Amino acid sequence: DSPEASAALFEAVFEHWNALPADHRPQLVVSGESLGSFCSESTFHSAQHMAHRTDGGLYVGPAGMNPNWQNFVAQRDAG
């Protein structure tokens, strides 16, 4: 239920944000901690999807089971 609720909340915020004049929009940033990151991340099907619809994100202590987190880690630059 929580991933669906998170997606519904994001869509409502995104629709409102997208209706604002482009030169008056604040940055749209998503976040989540632990299982909250799982819910927030589940709104997006890939890192590219998140980057296309937001100005950034901060996930603290994401659960290892998160598919997007697994992809973020697998695709990051070495170092």
How is the chain split into domains, by residue range? Answer: 2-75
State the pTM of this model.
0.82
The answer, yes or no, to whether residue 73 has pLDDT greater than 90, is: no
SS3 for 2-58 is HHHHHHHHHHHHHHHHHHCCHHHCCCCEEEEECHHHHHHHCCCCCHHHHHHHCCEEE
Which tens digits make up the pLDDT trace of 47-69?
A: 889 999 999 999 999 888 888 88
